[in-house]
Structure 1
Amino acid sequence: MIAIGLEGSANKLGVGIISHPPNGGPAQILANIRHTFVSPPGEGFLPKDTAKHHREWVVPLVKQALKEAGVCIRDIDCVCYTKGPGMGAPLQSVAVAARMLALLWGKDIVGVNHCVGHIEMGREITGAQNPVVLYVSGGNTQVIAYAEQRYRIFGEALDIAVGNCLDRFARTLGISNDPAPGYNIEQLAKKGKHLLDLPYAVKGMDCSFSGILASIDLLAASLQPPNPQRLDPDTGEPITTADLCFSLQETVFAMLVEITERAMAHVGSSQVLIVGGVGCNERLQDMMALMARDRGGSVYATDER
């Protein structure tokens, strides 16, 4: 079976073509292309602008994917699309495009749950068998495990997602959204040296990120002129924006590692699978690997693809 899939739940529009062999072997990715709507620095992406971007790019991307995969329309067995969750307007643009293709080509149409898609994609790529899943992206923060034919949520964000927290702080700093605000914060954080004290909000199996964001926004404002230069209370050295990014990452990722470890202990799993856009962060992967190693376990993670 060959399936074409359309993903447009946020600012990235993706078109993929995957072949599933009849013997049940590993899937073969024939095409995996995307185009990203990049908003100006200091701004987020609005639903109407993102939806317009997806409408403009969906036909060229479908044509490019078919060409890259080396398949024609008669080879396609079904048209898949992200049904939700996600941003309403861009989701609608992609759903309309998928239905148009299915009707035009006479193919079955399959709506895919965004969250389950992330998890199954991660399991397919990494070979993880029955892991505790940390799903972290711009819109989702959840610790998930599979039990009795259901994916069950053990913990989640109580307010904003961890990716949204990072993205909004990038907006505060006015750094570029190209290729992604969270990626640019990750690069800045690598230059940070001073770990600043920020609120640490783990409540049982759940996390809260809005207070951390408010706190670090105040610290960032205090670094701007004409305010006096802030010094690290321990070393006396000046605090930089790189230190802020480093401190934010270390704090929120420590929270995620804590609730993931608690879920592993609860379900008796030795595997962790990290999926979602924030899951590509190398520092998060390193911190999770340290925890898993102490428990005699292993970590699986997806890359930017």
Structure 2
Amino acid sequence: MVVAVGFEGSANKVGVGIVRDGEVLSNVRDTYITPPGEGFQPSETARHHRAKVLDILRRALEEAKITPQDVDCICFTKGPGMAAPLTVMAVVARTVAQLWNKPLVGVNHCVGHIEMGRLITGAQNPTVLYVSGGNTQVIAYSRQCYRVFGETIDMAVGNCLDRFARVLKISNDPSPGYNIEQLAKEGKKFIQLPYVVKGMDVSFSGILSFIEKAARKKIAKGECTAADLCYSLQETVFAMLVEITERAMAHCGSQEVLIVGGVGCNKRLQEMMGVMAKERGAMLYATDMRFCIDNGAMIAQAGWEQFRSGGVTPLEDTWVTQRFRTDDVHVAWRE
């Protein structure tokens, strides 16, 4: 039985997860939360991770009821993500691996989300919508590679939502996207926004610019509420995502769709995708906040798969990169 420890810290979540042969033994994390109206800066985020990670590792080991002697490999996020937080976690993983005399496995963050989604939901070969603060991609597996069928050409959908939350001074606790989702439930008036689908790709920067300007004017004039704007933004960007996902499913002849990434927790997105899937006679798979938000267990699971297929990372190659493409990974563990 292979036991893998995973270190994740590519953005504002720092987490350590432990997986043993497809069973999540522990999944501990902490979130760096900034004041309303502010984003998180790389240096401050890195300091947060450095201060929290060893305590989180201790708690993960205690929760899993294992010791370092039981561990077979140390997995860490190699990228993509923010450089400073990624570097902190890579240094911690390298140090722990050398102290415990264990092999290292560098994991692609996006593949971590996919493998965790497949593990938790039981989806066999789904078309994947990966949506988070830093990434937006439609992905399907073929010939030992996760192939990107469509993606954002500018900013990620999660970043778009987060930045609009700053305009409205919405709290970042537990996350700006979650609070936009709750506020959107109170929206009653739909505000027409740009709808930008370009083939299989999407664009969110123009939508954000438009709604930032519209928000100040319309709220000041009493033409709509903040809830109306949140509702309108969600409906528009999620419709775009459902459209390109359905097109990828049609191309692949897929009868499964899996939503992963932090934005994948959004119940409205799941509802809209579910309607599309039902109309196609397909199945929708999604996870809850424990596994769709960045976490160490997803890195442990992907690393576990990689380790079992011989994918150990030499110490000299344990550098990190902000740009590590999903389709650059050799998925040797799948047929």
Aligned counterparts of 2:143 and 2:93: Cα–Cα separation in 1: 32
* Counterpart secondary structure, 2:107: strand
1:97 matched to 2:92? The reply is: yes
Match of 1:274 in 2: 259
Question: How many residues of Structure 1 are paired with residues of Structure 2 in the alignment?
Answer: 289
Aligned counterparts of 1:150 and 1:70: Cα–Cα separation in 2: 35
User: Once superposed, which parts of structure 1, at least 4 consecutive aligned residues long, lie more than 3 Å away?
Assistant: none
TM-score, normalised relative to structure 1 = 0.94
Match of 2:18 in 1: 17
TM-score, normalised relative to structure 2 = 0.85
Aligned counterparts of 1:62 and 1:147: Cα–Cα separation in 2: 35
Letter in 2 for 1:90: P
Match of 1:31 in 2: 26
* Counterpart secondary structure, 2:221: coil
Match of 1:264 in 2: 249
* Counterpart secondary structure, 1:50: helix
1:117 matched to 2:118? The reply is: no
Match of 1:24 in 2: none
* Counterpart secondary structure, 2:289: coil
Deviation track 1:143-200 (CA, whole Å, cap 9, x = no partner) reads: 0001121111000001100000000000110111000000000000011011110000
Match of 2:194 in 1: 199
Deviation track 1:213-241 (CA, whole Å, cap 9, x = no partner) reads: 111111211145xx4322xxxxxxxx110
Aligned counterparts of 1:7 and 1:123: Cα–Cα separation in 2: 18
- How far off is 1:302 after superposition? 1.4
Letter in 2 for 1:177: N
Match of 2:221 in 1: 228
Percent of pairs identical after alignment? 66
* Counterpart secondary structure, 1:67: helix
Letter in 1 for 2:19: I
Where in structure 1 are there 5+ consecutive unaligned residues?
21-26, 231-238
Q: 1:176 aligns with which of 159, 171, 180?
A: 171
Q: 1:303 aligns with which of 288, 294, 312?
A: 288
Aligned counterparts of 2:63 and 2:143: Cα–Cα separation in 1: 39
Aligned counterparts of 1:193 and 1:201: Cα–Cα separation in 2: 23
Match of 1:60 in 2: 55
1:293 matched to 2:278? The reply is: yes
Letter in 1 for 2:202: C
Aligned counterparts of 1:261 and 1:151: Cα–Cα separation in 2: 17
Aligned counterparts of 2:190 and 2:281: Cα–Cα separation in 1: 28
1:131 matched to 2:116? The reply is: no
Match of 2:3 in 1: 2
Higher relative contact order (CA 8 A, sep 6+): 2
* Counterpart secondary structure, 1:130: coil
Q: 1:215 aligns with which of 210, 218, 240?
A: 210
1:154 matched to 2:149? The reply is: yes
- How far off is 1:207 after superposition? 0.3
Aligned counterparts of 2:59 and 2:26: Cα–Cα separation in 1: 9
1:185 matched to 2:180? The reply is: yes
Where in structure 2 are there 5+ consecutive unaligned residues?
291-335
The structure whose Rg is larger is 1
* Counterpart secondary structure, 2:251: helix
Deviation track 1:18-69 (CA, whole Å, cap 9, x = no partner) reads: 111xxxxxx1111101000001110000000000000000111101111111
How big is the alpha-carbon RMSD for the aligned residues of Structure 1 and Structure 2? 0.8
Match of 2:322 in 1: none
